[in-house]
Every structure is written in structure tokens, then in C-alpha cells.
Amino acid sequence: MKDSNISVHRRRWLAGLAGSVLVAAGKPSWSQTAPAASPRPGSAERPPRLVTVSGGITEVVYALGAQDQLVGTDTTSLYPVAAQSTPKVGYMRQLSAEGLLALRPDALVSTTDAGPPVVLDQIRSAGVKVELVEIDHSWEEVRRKVAAVGRATGREAQARALLQRLDDRWATLNRQVQRGAQAPSPRVLFVLSHTGAPLVSGEGTAADAMIRFAGGRNALGGFTGYRPMTAESMAAAAPDVILITTQGLEAVGGAGKFWQRPELALTPAWRRRQTGRTLVHLDALELLGFGPRMPDVVERLHRQLSVAA
């Protein structure tokens, strides 16, 4: 039953990706309409109790060693494995104030796509600090998440140390990608295929950003967000590599079943499919979650694109 529930959580999170678009960058701030609730008598020194709503933000909590302060997470919080056992407050866009407040958190940290807004207002009115981190599919987004969790957990020094390590790793990775840059860069198409008809990613999505960070070119442009995968779009995109989530590939029955889609026969990736290198898949959360694992994920994607192209 637990595995089934996790599968449902993954599908719900993936479904939300289809509506993902670029959001203007901004600095996060504590958003509240009432003063924070006072600690219970006799527990004035206790660490803040935290609820996180975003898989990438939950990963930061564990990276800072603050998991003992975590009293609840949303259903997108699937990594590390221990996060799957935390009390769940629902899908990040369908939160319920009653269940969340029952956990008696001092703070809620999420991203700007959490909601509904009326529920967030109820949580603020109950005296819970609510910080919503702006999402713009950038390295700064990752940095904002780390800083926000540092503030919420009272571990700002640890957050600064983690940021320094991550920034150093990111700078090294960028130099590595630039050194390995190909001319022209491989054309990469991201396919979102979890339920229903497959969708392809245009500009302004998390997938678009990850492709560029890894040294590739998004094979589709001229529109923002996702569109249905059609024969016309495949012929126009002409991708060298197709990128898909591991969960999406499993949902369609594996690589063999995926390549059977007639639209794909119009692509260079399909013609070279026998090499086994033109279909790249990564876990959905690590690929699109923009958490502290991002440098390692981009490095892995860069290697796979370099070999496939």
C-alpha cells in the first residue's frame, strides 16, 4: 500500500509539471498576517517546527541536518527515502489548512506555486510564518531555497556553509560544461509522459533550463510551457536526444514501447535509437526539483548528452 501511495504522489507531482512556466525572479520574504505563535510553556528553547511543501526544499532540510525539526511535508517530498515517512499535508497545490495546522508548525517553507492562496492565508492567520520562494528555474532559485530553510530552522550558519559548497561545485561544473561544449550543441527534446497523451517542453520550463545548463539546446522554441506531442512538432524539433523522466518512461512501458510511437520515427534520435544513447531518462524530482542535488544531476546529464550527440 505504501508503494502505491508513493506512486500516486509521483503522478500528482508530474501532472503539475505540465503547467510549469517561467516565473520572474524575486527575493523571498516572510509573509504573515499575524505574529508567530509563542512556544509552548517550558519549551522556549525548542527549535522551530517546520513543514516543507516542495521536494527540493525538503531535500535542503536534510542537507542541513535539520530533519528532526520537520513535522510534515507534501507529497512531492520523496527524497531522501526518509522523507517518504514524514506526515503528509497533501499535494502542494491542494493544501488543507486543517491537516497542516494539526501538526503545530512554527513555519512553512514552500515555493510560489503552492496553494490554494486562501489556505495559505488561513495558515498565516493562525500565526505560522509562511515563506514562499520564487521559482525561476535558475541557480539562484536553489540558493534561495537553501537560505529560506536556514532562516526557518534557525540554522543560518549551516546554510551559508552549504551555499558556499554548492556555489563552488556549481562554478566548477559550469567550467566543465563550457570546456566540453560541442558545436553545434545537441538538440534535446523533453517529453512529459506520465498519464494521457505525451507533452513536449517549450521555453520557460524547468526542463528547458536543465537542458541548457547541461550544454544542450532545447529542440523546441517559440512557445512557453508544454504542448501535445504531434508528428508536426517532432518533424520541426528534429531532436538528437530525447529526455524523459524515469517515471514517465516506466508509465509508457519502457524504452521499447516508447520508441514505437509513430511521431518519433521522424526524428534523428529515433534513427539512432539502436545505439541506446539517444533516449536519456532521470528521476523526476532530481531532474526538475531544483534542489541541492542539482550540480550532480546537471553533470550527469551533461555526460549523457555528450555521449549521445
Give the range among 18-22, 86-90, 107-111 with minimum mean pLDDT. 18-22
* CATH T-level assignment (fold) for domain 2-176: Rossmann fold (3.40.50)
The half-sphere exposure of 166 on its side-chain side, counting CA atoms within 13 A, is: 26
Residue 287's pLDDT is what?
Answer: 97
The whole-number average pLDDT for the span 182-200 is 87
Q: By the 8 A CB rule, do 229 and 166 touch? A: no
Percent of the chain with pLDDT over 70: 85
CA distances 24 to 21, 93, 112, 133, Å, are: 10, 19, 11, 11
The whole-number average pLDDT for the span 33-44 is 37
In Å, how far from its chain's centre is CA 75?
12
Q: pLDDT at residue 31 above 80? A: no
What is the helix (H) or strand (E) element at residue 129, kind and residue range? Answer: strand 129-133
Q: What is the pLDDT of residues 153-181, one digit of tens each?
A: 999 999 999 999 999 999 999 999 998 77
Q: By the 8 A CB rule, do 250 and 289 touch? A: no
Residue 206's pLDDT is what?
Answer: 97
Q: What is the pLDDT of residues 205-225, one digit of tens each?
A: 999 999 999 999 999 988 999
Q: pLDDT at residue 32 above 50? A: no
Give the range among 22-36, 95-109, 153-167 with minimum mean pLDDT. 22-36
Cβ–Cβ contacts within 10 Å for residue 172, how many?
12
The whole-number average pLDDT for the span 143-155 is 98
| DSSP annotation of 253 | T
Q: pLDDT at residue 101 above 50? A: yes
Residue 40's pLDDT is what?
Answer: 39
CA distances 289 to 58, 75, 154, 265, Å, are: 10, 13, 23, 30
Which stretches of 139-228 are assigned E, i.e. beta strand?
A: 187-192, 199-201, 217-218, 226-228
Residue 309's pLDDT is what?
Answer: 66
Q: What is the mean pLDDT of the chain?
A: 87
* Max Cα–Cα distance, the chain, nearest Å: 69
Residue 14's pLDDT is what?
Answer: 53
Q: pLDDT at residue 100 above 50? A: yes
Reported as a pLDDT band with limits 50, 70 and 90, residue 36 is very low
CA distances 196 to 18, 193, 228, 242, Å, are: 12, 7, 10, 18
The whole-number average pLDDT for the span 231-238 is 90
The whole-number average pLDDT for the span 182-188 is 86
* CATH 3.40.50.1980 domain extents, the chain: 2-176, 187-308
* CATH T-level assignment (fold) for domain 187-308: Rossmann fold (3.40.50)
The model carries a pTM of 0.86
